[in-house]
Amino acid sequence: MRTKHLFFDLDRTLWDFEKNSEIALMKLFEEFKSGHGIDDFDHFHLTYKEHNARLWKMYGNKEIDKEHLRDERFRVTFADFNIHDPDLTTKFSDGYVEISPRQTALFPETIETLVSLKKDSYNLHIITNGFKEVQYIKLENSGLDGFFDIILCSEEVGHNKPSPIIFNHALKEACAEKKDSVMIGDDLEVDVIGAINFGIQGILFDPDNHYRNLSDTPRIQQLDELKDLLPWIFRTTS
């Protein structure tokens, strides 16, 4: 019997990055409010998200390193509010790395789905572009770590998804064949197209229905849809 392998993204696929990040930022915003004097958290949060997304894209393209990303996202956010305080930037940068990965919000049906998939004898793994030292904290604190055989962070390989190098490394670590493997993630280009270009099937996790017109790629809005979708996927790859 073929051993079937499921490779999951972590952030925005299982672990609710947006919710957990907002909780962490709110705590820091309130703790250091006397230092920044900003009244509108929503405006601060939106400004941070825009800069963070831009810098993560630069990191993915190897234009900056992770230390620059961590500090710069807060420096430029505060600069937009005409605040230029290196000490405040450092407090937010260090505090965010400490607080954010310890939050535990998951997408609906995450645990139930993983339990079900394990019972159905799927081998489960993680491939994440997140930083190793925080991804393991997320997995442990949210009760996810025990479900996965291989947990692979891109910085361990030196290449981010969608590079075929990280997918190849993951399959070797898991002793998996392409035809027996599926990648599940929220990023169409990075997770799904990256996997398909490498030669394994991808499934897009699209909880907000952004890709409702996508017709040529398997797509789910709820994680518990995987149980019924996967047998069909593996029949088409056999």
Domain extents for the chain? 5-15+106-237, 17-102
- Closest to 131 in 3D by CA, of 172, 92, 160: 160
Entry pTM: 0.94
- CATH topology agreement for domains 5-15+106-237 and 17-102: no
pLDDT tens for 145-154 read: 999 999 999 9
What secondary structure does DSSP assign to 187-199, as a single string?
-IIIIIIHHHHHT
Q: At residue 238, does pLDDT exceed 70? A: no
Q: What is the pLDDT of residue 205?
A: 98
- Which pair of structure tokens corresponds to residue 12? 């925005």
For residues 162 and 193, is the Cβ–Cβ distance under 8 A? yes
pLDDT tens for 196-211 read: 999 999 999 999 999 9
pLDDT tens for 87-107 read: 999 999 999 999 999 999 999
- Which pair of structure tokens corresponds to residue 113? 């789905």
5-15+106-237: which CATH number, 3.40.50.300, 3.30.230.10, 3.40.50.1000, 3.40.50.10190?
3.40.50.1000
- Which pair of structure tokens corresponds to residue 203? 């499934």
Which of the 8 DSSP states describes residue 133? H
* 200 φ/ψ angles, rounded to the nearest 5 degrees: -120, 155
pLDDT tens for 61-92 read: 889 999 999 999 999 999 999 999 999 999 99
17-102 in CATH: which number?
1.10.150.240
Task: Give the residue-averaged pLDDT of 117-131.
Answer: 96
Q: What is the pLDDT of residue 216?
A: 87
